Amino acid sequence: MQLDKMVQFHKAVGDVTRIRILALLKKGPRHGQEIASKLGLKPPTITHHIAKLKDTGMVYARREKNTIYFHLDEKKLEYMATAIIRIGEENFVKNQELEMTEAEKQKIIKNFVTKEGKLKQIPSQLKKKLVILSYFVEHFELGKVYEEKEVNAYIKTFHEDFATIRREWVMQQFMFRENNRYQLNPKEIWPIVIEK
């Protein structure tokens, strides 16, 4: 699960009113006014909270005549609630498979990077792709915040498809994005380990 999705989920659940709404929806679909009166709040407040719950995907709406009923998707709730328990595990599993020596790494780099330092193409094999992503991402400094523009500009110095590279960095946990700004993740949570 993506880091920002996880934050969004826990922010959504981290509120007394929204937990009370979830408790009600667990008993079955409810409509806005009903929820408002049961919790002693005004309808706009419920709209506000329901919006946050809907954004996570665990609540959805179905219209019946003039009334909109809100439903709880318990499967999604369960999936998202347990994601935090598995945090880092995907990486850990991958690490086992994705250890390699410095020599192997150099070979892959030599195959995919020109003498001028340009990326010939994005490797399709996961292992090789990760080597390449890690190789180029080392440009960034730990703790420094980068605008999307800066990230794009840097990628363009070695490859034209900046959108793909940027997305892969985030997806593969080399970097993390927070409102369109980027930061390097510590190597410990990168999905690849190079034996020294």
* Interface contacts to a second copy, rule CB under 8 A: 3-4, 6-16, 19-20, 22-24, 26-27, 37-41, 74, 77-78, 81-82, 84-85, 87-88, 142-145, 176, 178, 183, 185-186, 188-189
Q: Between 128 and 147, how does the x/- string for binding to DNA read (CB under 7 A)?
A: --------------------
Q: From the CB of residue 134, how many other CB atoms can be counted at a distance below 10 Å?
A: 20
Q: Considering CB distances under 5 to 8 angstroms, the limit depending on partner class, which of a second copy, DNA, none binds residue 33? A: DNA
Q: For residue 43, state whether it binds DNA (rule: CB under 7 A).
A: yes
Nearest by Cα to 6 from 94, 71, 87, 90: 87
Cα–Cα distances in angstroms (integers) from residue 128 to residues 93, 105, 109, 118, 193, in the given order: 17, 8, 9, 16, 12
Q: How many residues does the chain have?
A: 196
**Cβ(100)–Cβ(110) below 8 Å:** no
65 binds, among DNA, a second copy, none (CB under 5 to 8 A by kind): DNA
Residues at the interface with DNA (CB under 7 A): 11, 15-17, 31-33, 41-52, 61, 63, 65-68, 179
